[in-house]
Amino acid sequence: MVDYFAEREEAKKERVHKNELQRLRNIRRSMKARNDGGDTVPLGLSTDLESRTRHELVNQMNRARQATASLGKFQPMLKDEKVPKKTGKTHKFAANEASIATERKRYLEIFDQISSKKPKIDETRLIASEGDKQETSKTNTRKGHDRGGRSRHKSSIHRQQHFQNKIKKNKKGGGKARRGGKTSRQ
């Protein structure tokens, strides 16, 4: 005899485990995204404040000032405080009147970059994505994923059958049907 309640409990435990695994993956992915920033400095005070250099502290102070809706335009300046430098990426424009040789050289460099066979892949991201693929392949080997795609739910199957039946009904009454009433026979 089959114990359906035990099967339901087991299925629920599997779902909970899968959700927990996905939650941990999401946390790991968000931590990687935060750490990819490079030179980001935390705004909060760290425990080892003595080891920070003057440059780090000034940079952190400027970032904290700009972390407002007005980007720090209306923040009061302290006494004897220097105006912070604009630190950000600036767009370097090429000269409008360039010689034909330099322009041709620049366009050839762009063409070489586009047509080169070397893919622009970050190796650390590639390794991380391969690790995620291995974990997902382990979880997808359970039943329901054997077909390679999503498992179909009952509602989608019933919906498909409903519309197929509707189409069949429309095909049956497609000709000249007598619908009652008076007909003129002579």
Cα 175–Cα 179–Cα 181 angle in degrees, nearest 5:
140
Q: Enumerate the domain spans of the chain.
A: 4-67
Residues 17-47 pLDDT 10s: 999 999 999 999 888 877 765 555 555 555 5
Q: Among all chains, which residue has been given the structure tokens 């291995």? A: 134
Residues 149-168 pLDDT 10s: 566 676 777 777 877 787 87
- CA-nearest of 34, 26, 35, 31 to 135 is 26
- CA-nearest of 134, 138, 143 to 11 is 143
At position 51, the amino acid (one-letter code) is: S
pLDDT at 120 over 60: yes
pTM above 0.85, yes or no: no
Whether 151 and 145 have beta carbons less than 8 Å apart is answered as yes
- Residues near 65 by Cβ (< 8 Å), separated by ≥ 6? 72, 75, 84
Residues 35-81 pLDDT 10s: 765 555 555 555 566 777 888 888 887 788 778 888 777 878 778 87
**Rounded (10°) angle between helices 123-140 and 4-35:** 180
Residue 76: both structure tokens together:
């009061």
